[in-house]
Structure 1
Amino acid sequence: MFSAGVAAVRPVACAAVLAALGACATLTESTQQQVLVQTVLDHREVAGAGCVLSNDVGKWFIATPGRVTIRKSLKPLHVDCQLGGQAVSGESVQSKQNASLWGNIVLTFGTGLIVDRNTGAGFDYPSTITVILHPAHQGEQRLPAPGGVTVY
């Protein structure tokens, strides 16, 4: 009789432990993420485009193709690329809730979700960002980002 009770409790205990491991991404996940940025022009991958990635917590610079470590956020990641004077692009990539969602809801009754929204730890951007460049029109000139430095 006693062993039947222990056997019934074991699956519940295992489920609780698994849920606890997924709770509060601020404690279990990093607030940083590495992303690969690649650029495409006329259906071909091109190298050497200068890109500025920015969200509400920071700004990063990269030459494509390349990897960069960024800070996660609930807000979109803006990617602005330029290939010399030949091509330009500006895109936004939305972050998505990562696997910590259910642990936050079940174990912390939503408190962990609020904390993760503020730190960005509960959200991920796509690991690969492909930016489609568009040929620059004659006379079109890109202005540097406000307060930024032009990167070559």
Structure 2
Amino acid sequence: MLPLFRPFVLSALALLGGCATMSDSPMQQLEVRTVLDYREIGGVGCILSNDAGRWYVIAPGRVTVTRNKGPLSISCKKQGVAIAAETVQAQLNTSNLVGNLVTTAGIGHYVDRYSGAGYGYPATLTVLMQPAEKSVAAVGAEPVASRMF
């Protein structure tokens, strides 16, 4: 390689090295767990969604989502047992922030903020389930223990 081009190639590699869009995957694997009355329950269907897409998982389980700067909504349900709806805010990936600011003079940071690649969610999501309430029709169908005169 010509000595003249060597500094150019090295500086280009340094600029790209700090950018999370080049070094990190836009995908993130999450583990979803569901808890009801201080106990983990299984066989719970969960839908996770953000501005980048929608994903389905049976908890406890793992799912791969697309990173995004917006919140991740989680809706879980086990028929007749429990339901839940939670939202998790995206967190800025600070390990790439310094590299972006130093090597790209902040440009990589703005690209990652816009694309969502510089953000992530907690690796393990524990969803607190609420007991499912009986429907009004089921309550009316229950036998009544009083006598009529």
Same fold (TM over 0.5): yes
- CA gap of 1:22–1:46, structure 2 versus 1, over 3 A, is farther
Q: Name the amino acid aligned to 1:27.
A: M
The structure 1 residue matched to 2:135, chosen from 131, 135, 139, is 139
The structure 2 residue matched to 1:125, chosen from 117, 121, 132, is 121
**Counterparts of 2:23 and 2:87 in 1: how far apart (Å)?**
27
Identity of aligned residues (%): 48
The structure 2 residue matched to 1:103, chosen from 96, 99, 104, is 99
1:72 aligns with 2:67: yes
Hey, what does 2:18 align to over in structure 1? 23
1:63 aligns with 2:72: no
Count of aligned positions: 123
Structure 1 stretches of 5 or more lacking a match?
Answer: 1-18, 141-152
Q: Name the amino acid aligned to 1:66.
A: G
**Counterparts of 1:106 and 1:35 in 2: how far apart (Å)?**
30
After alignment, is 109-118 or 29-38 more displaced? 109-118
**Counterparts of 1:22 and 1:38 in 2: how far apart (Å)?**
35
Residue 127 of structure 2 aligns to a residue in which SS?
strand
Is this contact kept in 2: 1:36–1:128, CA < 8 A?
Answer: yes
**Counterparts of 2:77 and 2:132 in 1: how far apart (Å)?**
9
Q: Name the amino acid aligned to 2:127.
A: V
When Rg is computed on C-alpha atoms for both structures, the one with the higher figure is 2
**Counterparts of 1:136 and 1:39 in 2: how far apart (Å)?**
14
Is this contact kept in 2: 1:34–1:70, CA < 8 A?
Answer: yes
Q: TM-score, normalised by structure 2?
A: 0.77
Q: Name the amino acid aligned to 1:71.
A: T
Residue 103 of structure 1 aligns to a residue in which SS?
helix
Q: What's the Cα RMSD here?
A: 1.9
**Counterparts of 2:73 and 2:105 in 1: how far apart (Å)?**
32
1:94 aligns with 2:73: no
Q: TM-score, normalised by structure 1?
A: 0.75
**Structure 1 segments of 4+ aligned residues over 4 angstroms from their partners:** 19-22
Q: Shift of residue 85 of structure 1?
A: 2.2
**Counterparts of 1:111 and 1:21 in 2: how far apart (Å)?**
11
